[in-house]
Structure 1
C-alpha cells in the first residue's frame, strides 16, 4: 500500500518541486479528491483543464483529464500553454462547473502546481480547499485504489485565445478610447502570455514587438516573475529610448510589470495607483477598493479624495476576490502584481490590466504623463520587499508575534498594529513595516513602504536585525 500523502492548499493552490514532492501520483490524488468533493458539494458535469509552459505541465493536465473521465465527466483541455486568467474567464464564460489549472505561477522553474477555480472564475476559497484536504484524509485508501492504475485517455481540446482576446478589446475600449499609437515591447518571458498581450495591443492600434516568444520550461534560465533581475532586456530597450512602454507577465500571466521610458521599472505598487485614479476619475469606483496588507497606502490617499472606502485583507488573491464577490468593493489588487475587477473575473489578470492601462494611457496622452499626474496629486511612495529563506516561516511569525510587534512598534511614533496576516505596524509619518510567512514558497517576507527610500531601508534593516535575534523553528 502506498503511504499517505501530505499536501496543503496554500495561498494559491498546491505547489511543489517537480518529481520530488510534486509527482504524477500527487496530481492524480489531488484531481480525485477535488472531483469527489466538488461533485458532491456543487455538482460537476463539465470540467475545463488548463496548463502552463512548465516541465510536465501538459502531462499533469492529462492525468487530471483522465481522472475526470473515470467519473463520467465531460472534460475539455486547452490545446497549448494558456494563462490562468484566460482559463478562468473561458470556464466562466462557457459554463464549465469547475476549472483546474496546472501551474506554479511565478515560482522558480523547478516547481509546478495545482490550482482549483470555481465556475465563476474565482480561486477556490479556503472552505472548499479545506474540504478537499478533508476528503483525502477520510478516503485516502479508496482514493489511492482509484488512481493506482490510471489509464491516460485522449480528450477534446480547445483554444480559448480568440474568444478571450475579442472580449478584452471590447471591454477596455468601452471604458477608454485609445487615441495615440505607442511603441510597445512585450516580454512574455517564454511563458503563457505569448500571443495574448501583444495581439490585443496591436488590435488597439499600438506598434508592438514581442520578445522571448517561444515556450521554454526553464524560462531562459530565470525565474518567471517580472521583477527587474528577470527582465533586463525589456528594461534596457525601453529606458534606452527604443520603445515608450514595456510590459511583462509572470509564468501564468496573472501578474504584470510595466517599464516607462522615463520612470523605468514599475511594480504593482506603482501601477495600482494609476489604475485606481483613472477608474475613479471615470466614476467606475463607487463602493471602494480592496488591497492586501502588503499593498501601497497611496491607494488610501486616492480613496480619501474620492470618498470611497478601503478594505484591507491578508495576502492572497482569494481574499481580494472574496471582498469583490461579497459586493463590498469595485476592484482591488495586491503588491505581487495582480489586479482584480468586479466587472471581469474575480481573479488576477495581468493581460487584462496591461490592455486597460495602455488604453488609459493612449486616451490620456502617454504613460509618462499619466504617472506624473498621479504622483503629482498623491505623492510617490517607495517600497521594498526582502525574502529570507526559511522553512516554517509562518510558524516563526506566529511563535514570535508578540516580540515582533513590540520591536516593530519601537521603530516609529504612534504605531498602529495590524495582525490579519503576519505582523504589520503603521507609523504616523505614513511609513509601515510588515513581516509574514509566504504561502507559496519556503520564505519569510519583510515589506516596507515610506515616502523616502531612506526610511524604507532603515525599517527593512532594523527588521532583519530583529529577525536574526529571534529563535527559529
Structure 2
C-alpha cells in the first residue's frame, strides 16, 4: 500500500511511483464515503486533463464513487479545472468534484484534485479526514455514471465578463499556447468567436507534452515568445496544464512576470472597468502589487503563502481579486478559485480598451509604481534535514543580512526580513516537498542577488 498525502494542490505522484489505478480508486472510495455520509445520493462532477491515462483514471474514479451511492457525472470531454470548479459552484445538488490532473507538473506525473461544493479546493481538515478514511487497498465495487457537457455553459459565462464588441473591433492578433494542457482548443476558439486572429501552438494530445513542462514560465514559454514576435502578434497567452494559471507575452516576445501582469490587471479592473474592492495577496508576492493597490486607492490584505490561505478571506463580498506568487488570478464574483481562461479574456480586453502595445503599458506601469526586481530560488534537502530546518526556522533571527539591518522581522510564515529601502527576503520550508524556498526583492538585480545569496548562505549554514 502506497502512502497518499495531500498537499495544497491535491495529490500528485509519478506514474512509476504511485500514480496508478489502486491509488485513484482508494482516493475515490474515501472521498465518496465522506460525501455519501454528509449528503446521501448527491451529485458529484468529475473532470480530467490531457495527460496519459487521465480519461481512464477519471472513469475509474466515477465508477468507484457511483458504487457508494452518489450520482456521478463525468465531463464528456477534456475539462480545465476552472470549468469543473465553476460548474460545481453553480449546481445546487453538487456536493463536490474530483479532477484528474497534475496541473503544471511534468508529463510523467498524474494527480487528483478535490473540489468542494463552492468549487474551491478541499480544505486541510477535509484532506486529513480523507487520508484517515481511505481504504488500505482498492475497492472492488463499481457503479454507473453519466456523462455531461460542462464546457458550453462555462465558456458562455466567462465570455459574459468582457466586452465582446470592443475586442472584436480591436482586430487583435493573438498567439495562444495551452502547453498541451486542458485549455487546448478552448481559449483559441472563444477568442476567434469574438473576432481575434488566433494562432495556437502546442495543441493536441501528446503523452510526453513533446518535452515541455506545462508551466507558463521560462524556459517553457520560449516557443510562444518566439512565435509572438515572428507572427507579429499583439500578445501571447500561455496557460498551464489544467488552465487555472495564465502568463502573458508582450509583442516583443517578453514574458510578463506576475509582478507586472497582476498590477496591469488591477489597473484594468479599477481604472477601465470601474470596479472597486479589496485585493488579497500572499506575503510572498511582489511589493509591486501592494504599491499598485495604494496608487489605485484600493485596500490590500496579505495572507500566508498558499492559495488555500486566501480562501478564508474570500467570503468578504468586497474582495475584487485574489492572487499568489505564481500569478494565479481569482475573481471571487466568478467563483472562489483561479481561472486562467477568464484572466486571459480580461487581459485581451485590457489590450483592446487601451489600444496600446503591451510593452508600452508595461513601461507606463513602471513609471507609475517604480521598478521591482523579484526572484525565487528553491533548495532541495533530504527529508531528515528539512524536518530539522522546519523546527529551527522559528528561532532564526539574524541581526543583519547582506550588510543590511532589517526594519522588521516576521515569523508568520517562515522568516521574512524587510529593510528600510523597501527590499525584502523570505525563507520558508515547503509544506509538501523536502525543499526550502527563498524569495528576494529589491529595486535592482544587484541588490536582489545580494539578498538572495545571503539568504541561501543562511539556510545552508543553519541546516548543517
TM-score normalised by the chain length of structure 2: 0.92
Contact 2:177 2:237 in 1 (8 A): yes
Structure 1 residues 78 and 411, CA gap change in structure 2 (3 angstroms): farther
Structure 1 residues 435 and 224, CA gap change in structure 2 (3 angstroms): same
Aligned equivalents of 2:393, 2:90: Cα separation in 1? 44
Query: CA shift at 1:133, angstroms?
Result: 2.4
Structure 1 residues 281 and 22, CA gap change in structure 2 (3 angstroms): same
Once the two structures are superposed, the pairs formed by residues 26-425 of structure 1 within 5 Å of their partners are 26-43=23-40, 45-95=42-92, 96-136=94-134, 143-144=135-136, 147-151=138-142, 155-173=145-163, 179-240=169-230, 242-262=232-252, 264-282=254-272, 285-327=275-317, 329-366=319-356, 367-392=358-383, 395-402=387-394, 404-406=396-398, 412-425=404-417
Listed one character per residue, the Cα deviations across residues 209-259 of structure 1 (whole Å, up to 9, x for unaligned) are 001111223111121101121121111122456222111111111111111
Secondary structure (helix, strand or coil) at the match of 2:314 reads helix
RMSD between aligned alpha carbons? 2.4
Contact 1:176 1:360 in 2 (8 A): no
Aligned equivalents of 1:130, 1:181: Cα separation in 2? 50
Contact 1:397 1:435 in 2 (8 A): no
Task: Compare 271-280 and 6-15 and name the one that shifted more.
Answer: 6-15
Aligned equivalents of 2:49, 2:399: Cα separation in 1? 42
Listed one character per residue, the Cα deviations across residues 17-66 of structure 1 (whole Å, up to 9, x for unaligned) are 22412232221111121122233335551011111112222222122111
Aligned equivalents of 2:311, 2:425: Cα separation in 1? 24
Contact 1:292 1:316 in 2 (8 A): yes
TM-score normalised by the chain length of structure 1: 0.90
Query: CA shift at 1:404, angstroms?
Result: 4.2
Listed one character per residue, the Cα deviations across residues 371-416 of structure 1 (whole Å, up to 9, x for unaligned) are 2332221122121111222344763542231464426656534432
Query: CA shift at 1:83, angstroms?
Result: 0.9
Secondary structure (helix, strand or coil) at the match of 2:313 reads helix
Query: CA shift at 1:323, angstroms?
Result: 1.2
Contact 2:174 2:199 in 1 (8 A): yes
- Across the two proteins, how many residue pairs are aligned to each other? 461
Aligned equivalents of 2:19, 2:217: Cα separation in 1? 25
Q: Where do 5+ consecutive residues of structure 1 fail to align? A: 137-142
Secondary structure (helix, strand or coil) at the match of 1:406 reads coil
The answer as to 2:462 corresponding to 1:462 is no
Aligned equivalents of 1:44, 1:391: Cα separation in 2? 44
Contact 2:236 2:248 in 1 (8 A): yes
Task: Compare 418-427 and 244-253 and name the one that shifted more.
Answer: 418-427
The answer as to 2:419 corresponding to 1:427 is yes
Listed one character per residue, the Cα deviations across residues 48-91 of structure 1 (whole Å, up to 9, x for unaligned) are 11111122222221221111111121111112332111111122
Query: CA shift at 1:352, angstroms?
Result: 0.7
Q: Where do 5+ consecutive residues of structure 2 fail to align? A: none
Secondary structure (helix, strand or coil) at the match of 2:343 reads helix
Aligned equivalents of 1:10, 1:301: Cα separation in 2? 31
